[in-house]
C-alpha cells in the first residue's frame, strides 16, 4: 500500500497524470496506491493549517491522515525554478512535527520540461526527507523533456519505463 | 535601496524581528530598506496568484512590485524541516517567470533554533537564486541557536554582529 | 560485517580515531568491522590508479577489494572547506565504474571543528552515493565542535553517544 | 587576466580541450587567460602538499601562485560520479587556508557525457566556493552530451556558444 504524492497544486498538471500512470503500473503489480493531490488542498492551508493552527484544520488533517496511513510514499515532483514546488514544502511544513515522516520509505520521481529531470528538486527533497528521518531510495527516476516522453497518459520511452519498473520493484520490497 | 524579505508567513516571527533589526542597521548606514513580510501575503496566494492566475492578483502584484522596485534583496530565512519555509519558495513560484529575479543582487541570512544556522536552507536557496540568474553574495550569515543570541530585538553576540556588518557592507557595494 | 572508511588521508587524524571508536562499539555488539584508512592509500593513487590505470594498480586494488568485501559501509567524514576531503571523492573515482557501490548500505558520520558537524559534506556525499545507487541511511550523525566531545579516544557526550547507538542499530538491520 | 582551471587530472581530457577553447575565446576578446591544468600536478600532491606539508612543496606552490596571480577564476568541471572530480577538491584542500580563494570572482562550467551538464558538480562546487568566500557568477554553463557538441576543438552548438559568450562577458566585468 503506497501513497503517491502529486507534488504540485497546478490544476490538471502533468504531474498528476504521471501519478495516475504510476498508480496503474502499481495496480498491475497487485499493489494498491492512493493519490494525494496537492491541488485539492484547502487554498489557504499555508496560513490556516500551519503554526498556531497546526493539526487543527479538519480538511488538512485528512491529508495528514493519508500520510500516516501507509508507510511507503512515492513523490512525483515537477521542477519549478530550480527546485520542487514551494507548495510541496509548505505541505511538509504543515505535517505533525517532527515525526510525521519518520521511518517512511520513500521514492522520488522528478519531472521537467528541460533536460535535467529535476536534479536540484530531488537533491533538495532528499536533504529534507533525510532530515525528517524518512528513508529515500537511491534510485530516483528523472523524467526530462517530459513533453516528448509522456503522451496520452503514458510514458512512451522504453528506457524511462525500465527505470520506473526498477524503482517500483525496489519500493515494493523496501 | 534594499528590500528585506522576511522569509516566513508565521505571525510575529523572530524572522520578522530580525528583518527589522537589519532595517535599523541599514538605516544607521543611511540606507533605506523596506521589509516584504510574507505573513502579509493573501492567504490563498498559492492558488489564487500562481499558474493561470500568475500576474493577475492585484494584492499579490503589490508584492511583486516590491521585488521589482530595488535591485538588492536581503533574505532572512528560518530553517524549517531541513530547508527554508515552503511559503518562501511558493512566493518565488508566483513571481514573473523567468526574469523577476534576474540580475538582482542578493544576500542571505539563515536563522535556526538549532546549531546549523540554516545551512541546508541557504544552500538550497542559492541553487534556486542562481538558477534564476540572481547573484548571491558568498558571505552568508548563519544565526544559530537564535534564542540565546537575539534578545529584545537585537543580536547581542559580537561575533554575529561583526558578520552582519561585513555582509551589509558587501551588499551595499555589491 | 561492516567496512568503516576513515575519510581522510591526514595522518593520525581524529577521523581515524573516531573510526576506531566506532569499531569498538560495533565489537561490543558482536559485529566485526574493518577499517579502510585512506591515509594508507598509495600516495600517487590519483594518477596511478585512475583513468587508463583503473583497476590495474595492485595495492589500490586491495582497497577496492575491501569495498567489495562487505555490503555495509560506514563513512567517517571530516569537514574540509565546506565539504568532505577531496581524497575521499578521488578514492570513489578510482573504484570500479559504475557498480562498485551499487546496492551497498551506507551510514554517514560528519566530523567538524566548527558548529555544523559537516552538513554540506554529508549532503554532497549523499548525492554521490545515491547517484551510484548505494543506499544511505537517513540518520546521519553530525559530530560538531569535535575537540570538546571526543577525548581520550571516546565520545564523552551522552547525546552524541545516543545518536551513534541509534545509527549503528539501524545500520546493523539495514 | 583570468586563470582557467581544467578541473581533472585525466590526461588529454576533453576538459582541458574545452579550457583551451575558452582561452581562445578570451584571447579574441583581448583578455589573457592562463590554464592551470590539474593533470600537471605532482602525482603524490594529496600527500606531499597537504596537512603538515601544506605550503612546503615547491612544485605545488607554483600552482598555488597561479591561483594567487589573478583575481578571476574560470572552473571547467567534468562530472564524475555525480559530482566534480575528487582531485579538484584535493587541489582546493591544498591551497592556503582559509584565504586562498577569498574575494576571487569565479565562473563555473560543467561538462558531462550525459544529460545533466554537471548539475550536482556545480551545486557542490558553489557551496565550497561560497564557504571560502569566493564569489560565484550565477550564470553557469552546463555542457551536456558533450561528445555531440564539442568537435575538432570547438563547441559547435550555437545555443551553447551564446551561453558561453554571455558568461565570459559577465566574468570580464564581474
How many angstroms separate the CA atoms of B9 and A52, rounded?
A: 12
Q: Are C93 and C50 in contact (CB under 8 A)?
A: yes
Chain A residues within 8 A of B60 when measuring between CB atoms:
none
Give the pLDDT of residue D114. Answer: 96
Record the cell numbers describing residue C124, joined without a space: 554532497
Segments making up each domain of chain B, as ranges: 2-173
| CA distances for A12 relative to A9, B116, B126, angstroms | 9, 39, 30
How many angstroms separate the CA atoms of A157 and B116, rounded?
A: 43
How many angstroms separate the CA atoms of D61 and D54, rounded?
A: 9
How many contacts (CB atoms, under 8 Å) link B and C? 18
Counting Cβ atoms within 10 Å, is residue B31 exposed (0-12), middle (13-18) or buried (19+)?
Answer: middle
pLDDT bucket at B124, cuts 50 / 70 / 90: very high
Q: Indicate yes or no: pTM above 0.95.
A: yes
How many contacts (CB atoms, under 8 Å) link B and D? 32
- For residue C77, what are the contacts with CB-CB under 8 A and spacing of at least 6? C7, C15, C84, C85, C88, C108, C109, C110, C111, C118, C121, C122, C125
| Helix or strand run (H / E) with residue D10 | none
Nearest CA-CA partner of C38 in C57, C12, C70: C12
Beta strands in D39-173 (DSSP E): 72-78, 105-111, 135-136, 141-143, 150-151, 154-155
B127 and D130 within 8 Å at the Cβ level: the answer is: no
C-chain residue closest to B122, CA distance? C120
Give the pLDDT of residue C7. Answer: 98
Minimum distance, in Å, between the CA of residue A152 and any CA atom of chain C: 30
Give the pLDDT of residue C38. Answer: 98
| DSSP code, position A31 | -
Q: Are C103 and C68 in contact (CB under 8 A)?
A: no
B82 and A47 within 8 Å at the Cβ level: the answer is: no
A32-58 average pLDDT score? 98
Q: What are the mean pLDDT values of chain D's consecutive 10-residue runs (174 residues total)?
A: 98 97 98 98 98 98 98 98 98 97 98 97 98 98 98 97 98 96
Query: What confidence tens digit (pLDDT) does each residue in A121-153 have?
Result: 999 999 999 999 999 999 999 999 999 999 999
Give the pLDDT of residue A31. Answer: 98
Q: Are C121 and C136 in contact (CB under 8 A)?
A: no
Give the pLDDT of residue C138. Answer: 98
Q: Are A74 and A2 in contact (CB under 8 A)?
A: yes
Give the pLDDT of residue B54. Answer: 98
Q: Are C119 and C158 in contact (CB under 8 A)?
A: no
A126 and C130 within 8 Å at the Cβ level: the answer is: yes
Minimum distance, in Å, between the CA of residue C164 and any CA atom of chain A: 15
Share of chain C above pLDDT 70, in %: 100
Q: Which CATH superfamily is domain B2-173 in?
A: Flavodoxin domain (3.40.50.360)
Give the dihedral sign, CA D150/D155/D160/D163: positive
B136 and D130 within 8 Å at the Cβ level: the answer is: yes
Query: What confidence tens digit (pLDDT) does each residue in B13-47 have?
Result: 999 999 999 999 999 999 999 999 999 999 999 99
Interface with B, mutate which of D104, D130, D142, D166 (most B CBs under 10 A): D130
Counting Cβ atoms within 10 Å, is residue D172 exposed (0-12), middle (13-18) or buried (19+)?
Answer: middle
Dihedral pair phi/psi, residue B12, rounded to 5°: 50, 40
Give the pLDDT of residue B72. Answer: 98
Query: What is the CB neighbour count within 10 angstroms for residue A75?
Result: 25
Give the pLDDT of residue C156. Answer: 97
Query: What confidence tens digit (pLDDT) does each residue in B85-121 have?
Result: 999 999 999 999 999 999 999 999 999 999 999 999 9
Give the pLDDT of residue C26. Answer: 98
Chain D residues within 8 A of C10 when measuring between CB atoms:
50-51
Chain D residues within 8 A of A115 when measuring between CB atoms:
115-117, 144
| CA distances for C48 relative to C39, C59, C94, D48, D63, angstroms | 16, 10, 10, 15, 20
| Helix or strand run (H / E) with residue C121 | helix C119-131
A99-106 average pLDDT score? 98
Q: Are D124 and C127 in contact (CB under 8 A)?
A: yes
Interface with D, mutate which of B134, B138, B169 (most D CBs under 10 A): B138
Report how far Cα D91 is from the mean position of its chain's Cα atoms: 11
Give the pLDDT of residue C33. Answer: 98
How many angstroms separate the CA atoms of C153 and D86, rounded?
A: 29
| Helix or strand run (H / E) with residue C147 | helix C146-149
Minimum distance, in Å, between the CA of residue B41 and any CA atom of chain C: 32
Partner-chain residue, chosen from C123, C135, C137, that has the shortest CB–CB distance to A127: C123
| Helix or strand run (H / E) with residue B119 | helix B119-131
Q: What is the mean pLDDT of chain B?
A: 98
Record the cell numbers describing residue A170, joined without a space: 525496489
Q: Are C118 and C146 in contact (CB under 8 A)?
A: no
Share of chain C above pLDDT 90, in %: 100
How many angstroms separate the CA atoms of B125 and B89, rounded?
A: 9
| CA distances for B161 relative to B18, B22, B115, B145, C110, angstroms | 12, 10, 17, 15, 28
Upper half-sphere CA count for residue C161 (Cβ side, 13 Å):
10
Query: What confidence tens digit (pLDDT) does each residue in C96-134 have?
Result: 999 999 999 999 999 999 999 999 999 999 999 999 999
Cell match 561538462: residue? D111
- Please report all neighbours of C, defined by 3+ CB atom pairs within 8 A: A, B, D
Chain A residues within 8 A of D117 when measuring between CB atoms:
115-116
C127 and A129 within 8 Å at the Cβ level: the answer is: no
Amino acid at each position: 500500500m503506497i501513497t503517491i504524492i502529486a507534488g504540485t497544486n497546478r490544476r490538471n498538471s502533468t504531474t498528476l497524470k504521471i501519478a495516475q500512470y504510476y498508480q496503474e503500473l502499481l495496480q498491475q503489480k497487485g499493489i494498491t496506491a492512493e493519490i494525494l493531490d496537492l491541488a485539492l488542498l484547502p487554498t489557504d492551508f499555508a496560513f490556516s493549517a500551519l503554526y498556531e493552527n497546526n493539526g487543527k484544520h479538519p480538511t488538512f488533517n485528512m491529508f495528514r491522515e493519508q500520510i500516516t496511513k501507509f508507510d511507503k510514499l512515492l513523490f512525483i515532483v515537477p521542477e519549478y525554478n530550480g527546485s520542487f514546488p514551494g507548495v510541496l514544502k509548505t505541505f511538509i511544513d504543515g505535517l505533525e512535527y517532527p515525526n510525521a515522516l519518520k521511518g517512511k520509505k520513500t521514492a522520488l520521481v522528478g519531472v521537467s520540461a528541460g533536460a535535467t529531470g529535476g536534479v536540484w528538486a530531488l537533491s533538495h527533497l532528499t536533504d529534507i526527507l533525510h532530515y525528517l528521518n524518512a528513508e529515500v531510495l537511491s534510485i530516483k527516476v528523472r523524467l526530462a523533456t517530459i513533453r516528448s516522453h509522456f503522451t496520452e497518459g503514458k510514458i512512451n520511452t522504453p528506457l524511462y519505463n525500465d527505470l520506473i519498473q526498477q524503482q517500483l520493484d525496489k519500493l515494493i520490497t523496501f
